[in-house]
Amino acid sequence: MLKGKHIILGITGSIAAYKSAVLCRLLVSAGAEVKVVMTPLAKQFITPLTMATVSQHPILVDFFNPENGEWNSHVKLGEWADLYLIAPATANTMAKMATGVADNLLLTTYLSARCPVAVAPAMDLDMYAHVATQRNIEQLRRDGVHIVEPGSGFLASGLVGKGRMAEPEHIVEAVSAILEEKKKSLEGKHFLVTAGATIEPIDPVRFISNHSSGKMGYAVAEALSERGAEVTLVSGRTSLATPKGVKRVDVLSAEDMWQECVARFPECDGAVMCAAVADYTPSVVAEQKLKKGDSDMTLELRRTKDIAATLGANKGKRVLVGFAMETEHEQQNAVGKLERKNFDFIVLNSLRTEGAGFRGDTNVVTLIDREHSQPLPLMSKHEVAEKIVDKIEEFL
Ligand code: CTP
């Protein structure tokens, strides 16, 4: 996959830069041609001599060579590359990338690059978790940058947590996957995806909802679309941006989501039910804001319609995928749902597993069909989405 590929390796000022030499060596051994761009600070962490030796090319740091005035053209470099990989990527560099700051050669090359761009963040756990860093990473993702998620473990600060740059072997795998031509294997197919949390109004100011972020469903919609499928995303409440090429229909309540899905399913080749749909809704929605009294209050709820079960009963040859989020008797409950709702397969999340669940960027799932149960390791939600779409292709 990497043979003959042109890769720019950008290195920024992080202690993880010591791993960049191994990373570069792995890329070169796999047959890639690698040119290294460093920020001025990166030179404090790993020497240009080391990187020039392993990459077999002079290192680029400045806009021009101070000795002879020769111009290091970021435009030409950007055109040359099949992929631009920034590893390690500091919080500072990602913040600049997210806003388009261009104050060094590594950043101007980013703005000039027409190729896919990947970053492997590396920093202390608190810097990584900071809302500003997360906002910048989300912005980069929206801009189409691939994020090679950092791992958890001992950090240079002495603390233990998430922020450690992914291992060079893992980064090489991620780069290979990006360079692998995305097969447009689902061209001509149409999928319905539900995502996010529904909102069940109690009165004009209050509602019942849940913690779903919508991230898993949005990742599935994106993965389907990237393989050439037409995707309609029926979305409950989330704060996520619509993935490129996806048609999004916003809904509020379980009833609204049911209406949209039932109307659209007949034209589809399949549906993936990722939404966290309320099972109960207030029997009566008060027209005016409910005022508190001295005594306790009881709210009467009625069952909502089961969207997945309705689609399952009218499935025909379409592929139908469901999700199960369980806290006990996981396998047994998931298989029960698979049967009851007539899913082809179900994606089981156990809330007992660390790294799985609602809000995070990772998930730990088991894909269960009528014959197999396939547990997957901890992955980003984007990687889980790819696995789900691989399995959908098997059923088509
Ligand atoms: N689902 C749906 N419509 C509903 C309820 C659920 O489409 N009204 C879908 C979800 O999107 C998911 C699967 O069905 O794919 C989850 O089913 P289920 O477990 O019944 O939802 P829970 O609310 O978690 O049920 P339970 O309380 O039984 O665990």
Distance 322 CA to ligand 1 centre (A): 8
Comparing 362 with 29, the larger pLDDT belongs to 29
Does the CB atom of residue 308 touch ligand 1 within 6 A? yes
Predicted confidence at residue 158, as pLDDT, reads: 84
Predicted confidence at residue 275, as pLDDT, reads: 98
Distance 331 CA to ligand 1 centre (A): 15
Protein residue with least CA distance to atom 21, ligand 1: 324
- Grade residue 24 by pLDDT with cuts at 50, 70 and 90: very high
Predicted confidence at residue 181, as pLDDT, reads: 64
- Of 50-64, 142-156, 223-237, 282-296, the least confident: 142-156
Protein residue with least CA distance to atom 12, ligand 1: 323
Choosing from 104, 210, 349, 363, the catalytic residue is 210
Mean pLDDT of 228-234: 97
> How many Cβ atoms from other residues are within 10 Å of residue 299's Cβ?
12
Does the CB atom of residue 311 touch ligand 1 within 6 A? no
pLDDT at 371 over 70: yes
Predicted confidence at residue 162, as pLDDT, reads: 86
CATH number of 190-395: 3.40.50.10300
pLDDT tens digits, one per residue of 186-229: 999 999 999 999 999 999 999 999 999 999 999 999 999 999 99
Residue percentage of the chain with pLDDT more than 70: 98
CB contact set of 232 (below 8 Å; sequence gap of 6+): 190, 191, 192, 193, 246, 247, 248, 249, 264, 268
363 belongs to the catalytic site: no
Q: What pairs with residue 232 in β-bridges?
A: 192, 247
| CA 258 to chain CA mean position, Å | 26
Does the CB atom of residue 306 touch ligand 1 within 6 A? yes
Predicted confidence at residue 270, as pLDDT, reads: 98
**The domain made up of 6-183 is a member of CATH 3.40.50.1950:** yes
Mean pLDDT of 23-28: 98
Q: Which residue from 215, 236, 239 is spatially nearest to 362, judged by alpha carbons?
A: 215
Mean pLDDT of 252-281: 98
Does the CB atom of residue 307 touch ligand 1 within 6 A? yes
DSSP per position, 147-180: E---EEEE-TTS-EEEEEPPPHHHHHHHHHHHHS
Distance, in Å, from the CA atom of 168 to the CA atom of 165, rounded to the nearest integer, reads 8
Distance, in Å, from the CA atom of 254 to the CA atom of 259, rounded to the nearest integer, reads 9
pLDDT tens digits, one per residue of 315-360: 999 999 999 999 899 999 999 999 999 999 999 997 877 777 766 7
Distance, in Å, from the CA atom of 334 to the CA atom of 115, rounded to the nearest integer, reads 41
Does the CB atom of residue 223 touch ligand 1 within 6 A? no
Q: Give, in degrees to the nearest 5, the angle at Cα 85 between 79 and 89.
A: 130
Same fold, 6-183 and 190-395: yes
Does the CB atom of residue 325 touch ligand 1 within 6 A? yes
Residue percentage of the chain with pLDDT more than 90: 81
Q: Give, in degrees to the nearest 5, the angle at Cα 378 between 374 and 380.
A: 110
pLDDT tens digits, one per residue of 67-103: 777 777 888 888 899 999 999 999 999 999 999 999 9
Best substitution site from 199, 238, 279 to test ligand 1's pocket, by max atoms within 8 Å of Cβ? 279
Predicted confidence at residue 190, as pLDDT, reads: 98
Comparing 323 with 177, the larger pLDDT belongs to 323
Domain locations in the chain?
6-183, 190-395
